[in-house]
Amino acid sequence: MKEQKKVLDVCCGGKMMWFDKTNPKTLFLDNRKMDIEHLKDGSNFGVNPDIVMDFRKLNLKDNSFYLVVFDPPHIVNASEKAVITKKYGSLNSDTWKEDLRKGFSECFRVLKPNGVLIFKWNEVHIPLKEILELTPTKPLFGHRSGKTMRTHWITFMK
Query: Does the pLDDT value for residue 1 go beyond 60?
Result: no
Assess contact for 157 and 139: CB atoms under 8 A.
no
Say whether domain 7-157 belongs to CATH 3.10.129.10: no
Instruction: Indicate the domain borders of the chain.
Output: 7-157
pLDDT score for 87: 75
Residue 122, number of CB atoms within 10 A of its CB:
18
Q: pTM of this prediction?
A: 0.90
- The predicted-structure confidence for 64-102, as pLDDT tens digits, reads as follows 999 999 999 988 877 777 767 777 788 888 999 999 999
Strands (E), the chain: 7-9, 26-30, 34-38, 44-47, 51-52, 65-70, 111-122, 141-145, 151-157
Please indicate whether residue 143 or residue 67 has the higher confidence score (pLDDT).
67
